[in-house]
Structures are given as C-alpha cells and as structure tokens.
Structure 1
Amino acid sequence: MAPLKTTKLYTNNVNKIATRSRAATHLKEINGNKGLERALRGKRKADCSPTKENGNKRTALGELTNNKIDFATGKGIKKVTVQSSVLPSVKTVVKNNKQKENGAPPPAPLNKIITRASLKQTVHHIPNQTAVKSKETQKENNLPPATKKRLSNEFEKTESEPSLYSTALEDAARKSTRLSSKSSESSTIVEQKPSPSNVSLVIQQLESKLNLGNHDVPPGIRDFDKENWNDIYQVSHYAMDIFNYYKEREKMFPIGDYMERQVCLTKMMRSQLVDWMVEIQESFELNHETLYLGVKLVDMYLDRVTVSKEMLQLVGAAAMFIASKFDERIPPMIDDFLYICDGAYTRREMIRMEINLLKIIDFNLGIPISYRFLRRFARCARITMPILTLARYILEFSLMDYDTISIKDSILASAALYMALKMKKVSNWTPTLEFYTGYKLEDFKDTILLLNKGLHRPSREQLMTVRNKYSHKIFFEVATTPLLKDDAFF
C-alpha cells in the first residue's frame, strides 16, 4: 500500500492531515473543479526517494501547463494577458462576405473556443479545389491518373528508375560527380544531377582503387576468409573490403608535430596522460578499442587547439568519455569520469569540452585504429594468443611514445606483430602476412626500430601502468619477455 500523503487543508483555521481522496473531495466542495483531483494525486514513489523542495516540473515546451495551485482557495493560479479589442477593418468585412457567398463559413471569432467538432465542420465545408483542378487538367490533357509509387520495395526497381536507397559507393560517386560538376560549371547556380553512366564509372574507379571484391588468394597462402565463409560473425564475404577501406581512410586523419605549438605541454606530460587513460580503461573494464580511439582523439585535438596544463586532463577524460559512448555497449556515466578526475572539473566543463572536441574533429569518429588491424592480421596468420598478447603489449606501450603519432596505424600493427613473432622465435614475415597486411618488411623497418627503442627505455614510476598490466597472469606475463637488439629483427 502506498504511504499516505499529508496535505494542509485550511478550513476554519484548523490544520488537518488528510489523504489524497479527502483532499480531493474537500477541493470539490470549495469550487467543484474536477481537474484539481488529478493535480493532487501524486505518483507512487519508492520509500528511499529523496524529497524535492520544488514540486514544479519543467515541461518540454516551457511552463505552458505547469500551473501552481493555491490550496487556500483550491484554484489554479494562471497568468492572464489582457488584449485590447480591435475593430474589424473594411478588408476583413468584405472578405467575410465573399466567403459567405462561396459557401464557406466565416472565421471563428477570437473569443470562441475552437473544438474538434468545429474543425471537422469547417473541413467539410471547404471544397478541395486542388483535387478538382488536377482532375480537370487530367481530363483536358488526356493524361492517365496519378498512381502512388511503392518507395519501400527495393526489389521492384528498374534501371530507368533510380532507387530510393543507395550504397556507400554510390553516395561517394554522386558526391565526387557533384564536386566535379561544381568545379567545371562554377558560374551556374542550379546543380544538375549526375547521369547514371558517370555514377557507374566513378563506382568502378573506387572499386579498383580499394580493391573491392578481389578475394583471389595467391597459391601457397591459406585463404582465411574462405575457411570461415559460412561463419556470420567473421563477415568473410567483405572483411577484405572493410580493411582495404580502413587503409584508405587513414589518409583522412593526419596528425602533425604539434608539440612545438603547445607552449604549456611537454612530451612527458602527454605520456603521463596516456598512462592515466590506460588506468581508466583497466579500472572501468573498457574495450581496448575505446582506449586507442581516446588517445587518437586527444592527439587530433592537441594538433588543432592549444591547451593549457590545467586543461590537459579534461581533454583526456572527455576523449575517453566520447570513445566509450562510441565503442561500449554500456558506457560509464559522466559522474564516473568526474569522480576519477578527483573533482578537478565540473559537469558543465566536461560537457563543454565534449562538445568542443566533437566540433574540432567534425564529428568524425570512424577513425581506423591500430588495434583493429592487429586483430585482423593475427587471425589471418593463425597467431596464438600469447603471441597476440605480446603484440598488444608492444602496441599499447607505443601509445605513450610521442614519436609514433604520425605513423599509420596499419603499419604500427604490422610492426608490433612482427616484433612479437621474432621475440617469441616463431617465424619471420610470412607471405600470408604480406598478402593480408599489404606491406613488406622493408615498408615498416624504421617503425620496428622506433618501437624497439621505446621498449628499451628505462622504466619510470609515472609510466608503469602498461608494464604492470601486462605482467599479470591473465596477459601471460608478456611484459617480462626478454627484449631483443635491433640486429635480431633483420
């Protein structure tokens, strides 16, 4: 049973405690307003719900229906605006006479309440002149009656009738043809639609550029996609197309040497921020994709905006907040990120930084990250889990290295996987890896030297999160794997 709701009723200057039904009946006796009964009925609340001092809720359209009630009189307090009466002009009188002659009812006066019934009557009186005109024009021109098209049926389209839906390639083709038409015809204002021949030609060029649909595996290489062709979770039908598209999109997210423009920041401060972000990922048990995307968002933001030392942590927290909402099934709340910042920032500052970061990157969160490439390459080469975990350790440790921000993520993933294979003494760079990655050993030789140099740096107390993380038994203690010299990789 719901708890009783106490209400003060002022009758004969005596305060009485009444229930909802008694309060409603008392207000009925005062003014007979039945609508006030609903106003006094409160919703069932939990016993532990906090009490709110202000009982007025803000509606979506403002304070239109949020009227206060004066319990002394039982009447609602409303704001009344008085308008001065305006006499009708000559034009309105003539217009009303014409409407009467045509059979249409005169407009409703200002003080009359318009109901649904009155609206229906006005609708019935007004003839559908557009429909009559369209029928007369069809009879004069001997045109067939207009028929409704089924826009939702994609299977009934023909070559002459373009479909309502389009693929990503068709959309890109239309955009490219529009850009070319705008450049060639800059003087014209009206934009012409591209012809189907131009769209098909651009689609063929994009397919050849991205190598889409080409799943022919050279002899001597295991066809990983064909072996898992019937597995819906492997998406083997277009997995090669997806990662070719990822490699093509890497050019859209360049990151330059921004530390020269950041007056208040240093490379060590960025490394400490990334170390703190790794700790967030481990504490909240987030996906690794969230961590890599968050670090990428930080670098893209710092490449375009000058940040002070005090706001650097806020940038990292907002980047992880955005990345978690993009990759996580159940992302943490904003209060969780405010808590891990130890109260250094307010909710308003966090939201403003989130909005600013999204504007700076133009709301483009489909950034290819190295962790996705690494998983794809390791699956195609049938790499065991300990070797993959070692490659993940090398790749995650490189996030703190500022010198790796300008390297492509696919090359970073290839270099980390090759270093793990050599450190575990398993194999070299095989033709299978060369086919699925699209890189030869000479393409990422300098990247291997850079990553190995970062692993040989002496550890610091401020940057121990990644080492401690991968020293656990869950990660096969890969952080304790003996390191190799540069000559051992070639």
Structure 2
Amino acid sequence: MALLRRPTGPPPALEEISMKEENLCQAFSDALLCKIEDIDQEDWENPQLCSDYVKDIYQYLRQLEVLQSINPHFLDGREINGRMRAILVDWLVQVHSKFRLLQETLYMCIAVMDRFLQVQLVSRKKLQLVGITALLLASKYEEMFSPNIEDFVYITDNAYTSSQIREMETLILKELKFELGRPLPLHFLRRASKAGENLKQQYYTGYTENELLEVMQHMAKNVVKVNENLTKFIAIKNKYASSKLLKISTIPQLNSKAIQELASPLMGRS
C-alpha cells in the first residue's frame, strides 16, 4: 500500500492569496511614499460606507474572489456548452430588466448559476430551470421585495412548476453550502471608479494597467461584435440603451479606434 504523503506546501489557492496580499501591501507602501489621496477620508459621517474598515473589506473580498473562483473551462465535456449558456444569460438579462431588479441581483444570479454548473451536471432540459432559480435566489438575497415564485413560473411560460423551482433552489443551496456572498464585479467597479486616475486606481484595486489588458481586450471584442452585428446576443446593449441607464451603450466612444485596436488581436485583425 502506498504511503500517503503530507503536502509540503500550502494549497495553490492560498499561495495565490499570499502573493496578492504581498502585492497589496507593496501597493500600500508605495502609496504612502507617494502620498496617494485617501478617497475614503470624507466618508466618515456615513456609517453605510464603513470608511474605517473599507480597505480591509476589499482586501477580504479579493481573497474570497480567489477561493470562490470559477474555472474558465468549467463547461468542457458537459452537455451544456458556452453557446447554450450565452443564450440563457441573454434571456436572464431581459427577465431582470422586466422585473426591474437591482444590478447586484443580475451579477449574483450569474455567479450562482456558474458556480452551480461547475459542480453539478445539468441536462439541457433543466438549464433554464437552473437560471431562473438562480435569479430567484439572488432576488431573495439582494432585493427588498423579491418577485413571487409564481412570477418566475409565468416568465418561463409554465415550462416549470413552483415545486420544481423549489426543489432546484434546495439543490443549489446545498451544493453551494449556502455560501452566496460571492464578491461581484460591481463591487470592484464602484471602488475603481471612485479612485479615478491611474496611480490611485492601481493603489486601490491592486492591479496594474498591464494586468488588466487581457480583460480589456475581451470586453472590447464583445463591444465590437455587438456593434458590427456579429452576434445575436444584444440584450445587454438594449438594456444600456435606455435613458434610465444614460444610453451608455450608444455613446460614440464605443465605436472608436481605441476599442477597435484593443479588440483586433482577438478578432484576427491586423
């Protein structure tokens, strides 16, 4: 019988957290030397902004993001593929808008859905059930008043019953061990937006511009594909074309040369 050997080092996830902590500490040291502006200094009167603890909170969120990470290839070898997921997400965006839910609810819905699909084999017939149940769970977590379960049955054109949604809700919660509080992109976006200019952004986000380049390229590629009608998934563009959201998807900057150049390496263009 082969002897079991005790691991000689920390788990990979913990190593990555340690490296990120070192980077953040270095960024904090650099900021003190350069006298970076404290963007939380004037928030002390607002208890909801937690100005005394906000830096610790975001450092914890970064750690949690690594621990709850989603494998980029989590659908490989599954009955569900990326296109099916894209169709579902496009539909969920429309449902989210119809119910007039918070932005956080949509982000949490997608996170819950992907985390569940990563650990549980799901058939095509139940993919929409997973999506709509994830939206129900996110609504209960984020909203003051969540839509009724009957509303979710109706929005699927009675493809599923209330009992089926409740059963899926129980299954998702068990698989995720009731750990729904995943850091959302919106949390970090608000922090980065508050920081503003380059040096402050690097300090408060912990990322350099070069580290963000690959993500920026993928985002630019998606913008170009939508603007050039190279995809059928346009629910996001339609959503952000509304006056309520300042018609942000219609601004001319999204058709600029800078966006085209960012996207070109991923679109096979010189």
- 1:448 shift after superposition: 1.2
Q: AA paired with 2:215?
A: T
- 1:357 shift after superposition: 0.7
Alignment partner of 1:364: what SS?
coil
Aligned residue in 1 for 2:78: 262
CA distance in 2, matches of 1:277, 1:365: 18
Aligned residue in 1 for 2:211: 443
CA offsets per residue over residues 243-296 of structure 1, 9 Å max, x none? 110001111112221222212x23221111111111121111111111011101
CA offsets per residue over residues 9-42 of structure 1, 9 Å max, x none? xxxxxxxxxxxxxxxxxxxxxxxxxxxxxxxxxx
CA offsets per residue over residues 287-345 of structure 1, 9 Å max, x none? 11110111011111111122111111000011001111111111111111111111001
Q: AA paired with 1:469?
A: K
Aligned residue in 2 for 1:251: 66
Aligned residue in 1 for 2:103: 288
CA distance in 2, matches of 1:252, 1:286: 28
- Alignment of 1:338 onto 2:153: yes
Q: Is the 8 A contact 1:215 1:240 kept in 2?
A: no
**1:267–1:433 distance in 2 versus 1, CA, 3 Å:** same
Moved more, 314-323 or 272-281: 272-281
Q: Is the 8 A contact 1:261 1:306 kept in 2?
A: no
Alignment partner of 2:179: what SS?
coil
Name structure 1 gaps, 5 residues minimum: 1-182, 184-204, 382-428
Superposition pairs of residues 48-197 of structure 1, within 5 angstroms? none
Q: Which one of the candidate residues 101, 114, 120 is aligned to 1:305?
A: 120
**1:356–1:349 distance in 2 versus 1, CA, 3 Å:** same
Aligned residue in 2 for 1:465: 235
Q: AA paired with 1:442?
A: N
Q: Is the 8 A contact 2:220 2:262 kept in 1?
A: no
- 1:488 shift after superposition: 9.7
In the superposition, the TM-score normalised over structure 1's length comes to 0.45
CA distance in 1, matches of 2:97, 2:191: 23
- 1:456 shift after superposition: 1.3
Q: Is the 8 A contact 2:237 2:249 kept in 1?
A: yes
Identity %: 31
Aligned residue in 1 for 2:245: 475
**1:226–1:216 distance in 2 versus 1, CA, 3 Å:** farther
Q: AA paired with 1:311?
A: K
Q: Is the 8 A contact 2:109 2:134 kept in 1?
A: yes
CA distance in 2, matches of 1:460, 1:487: 17
**1:215–1:304 distance in 2 versus 1, CA, 3 Å:** same
Q: AA paired with 1:485?
A: Q
- 1:466 shift after superposition: 1.1
Alignment partner of 2:140: what SS?
helix
Q: Which one of the candidate residues 76, 80, 89 is aligned to 1:274?
A: 89
- 1:436 shift after superposition: 0.6
- Alignment of 1:485 onto 2:260: yes
**1:220–1:248 distance in 2 versus 1, CA, 3 Å:** same
Q: AA paired with 2:76?
A: E
Structure exhibiting the larger radius of gyration computed from Cα positions: 1
Alignment partner of 1:312: what SS?
helix
CA distance in 2, matches of 1:369, 1:317: 19
Q: Is the 8 A contact 1:217 1:223 kept in 2?
A: no
CA distance in 2, matches of 1:220, 1:293: 36
Alignment partner of 2:49: what SS?
coil
Name structure 2 gaps, 5 residues minimum: 1-5, 7-17, 265-270
Aligned residue in 2 for 1:126: none
User: Aligned residue pairs: how many?
Assistant: 234
- Alignment of 1:316 onto 2:150: no
CA distance in 1, matches of 2:56, 2:260: 37
**1:461–1:448 distance in 2 versus 1, CA, 3 Å:** closer
| Structure holding more helix per residue | 2
- 1:217 shift after superposition: 4.9
- 1:485 shift after superposition: 2.1
CA distance in 2, matches of 1:433, 1:466: 26
CA distance in 2, matches of 1:461, 1:455: 10
Alignment partner of 1:431: what SS?
helix
Alignment partner of 2:41: what SS?
helix
- Alignment of 1:376 onto 2:146: no
